[in-house]
Amino acid sequence: MARIAELRSGGTSVLLASHSLDQVIEQCDTALWLQDGAVRESGDPTEVVEAYRDAMHAETTDRTPEPAGDGGALRLQENRFGSQEATIQAVTVEAGERLAVSFTLRASKALPRPIVGVAIHRAEDGLVCCDLNSESDGIAVPDLNPGRPLEVSLELDPLELDPGRYWVDVGLYEHGWKYAYDYHWHAHELLVPGTKHGEGVFTPAGRRWKLGTRD
């Protein structure tokens, strides 16, 4: 990224090919979305990425199986979406001074280099407080294979969210972001204890006040 910035500042045009949507928005002046060898969208990076995400959501919905009617907490086409070629199981959310989100990935067939995502939404209005994924953080998730579950955990230390009720969403995606294998939407509750002050979303750790008088 430093070399790309150096080239651009010197007036050089750079062609960046990437599946990292955040990287495209941050680094590019113009975006071109190619699909099956043809141009699907081009123009403003934010608009092209938004269209790409909309297409991914539609593809995920189309691939979601019919509800099984098992009556569990996770219900397909309601708060669980995705092809189910691989699934997210045994999700635990532990909150205190830090947040730990843990789960197990299981695949029904070999799937290369998936992407894992964790997002936090405020329950009262759906505000996205945090949206993280393994690709943007430079974490290479290994290939998934049948019979070899993969344990995943994410820790936020310290947890700086304001007291209140939140949802933790977890997702497992195809390595090119084309669709989700499994996505749990507003299925895992996070309660942050304490007294809420003001309208903020997070309480920064290590904050310091200084008071003094001046002549």
Tell me the pairing of strands 180-192 and 80-81. antiparallel
For residue range 141-190, what is the model confidence (pLDDT) as tens digits?
A: 999 999 999 999 999 988 889 889 999 999 999 998 889 999 999 999 99
Q: How many CB atoms lie within 10 A of CB 178?
A: 15
pLDDT at 197 over 80: no
**Which is nearest to 128 in space by CA: 87, 186, 172?**
186
Architecture label for domain 77-192 = Distorted Sandwich (2.70)
Instruction: Give ranges for CATH 2.70.50.60 in the chain.
Output: 77-192
Q: Which tokens sit at 194?
A: 């304490």
pTM: 0.78
Tokens of 150: 């993969």
Task: Please write the tens of the pLDDT for every residue from 89-137.
Answer: 999 999 888 899 999 999 999 999 999 999 999 998 888 898 999 998 9
Q: What is the DSSP string of 137-177?
A: TT--PPPBBTTB-EEEEEEESS--BPSEEEEEEEEEE-TTS
Distance from chain centroid for Cα 54: 15
Starting at the earlier edge strand, list the strands of the sheet with 150-156. 86-95, 99-107, 150-156
Closest to 134 in 3D by CA, of 151, 154, 150: 154
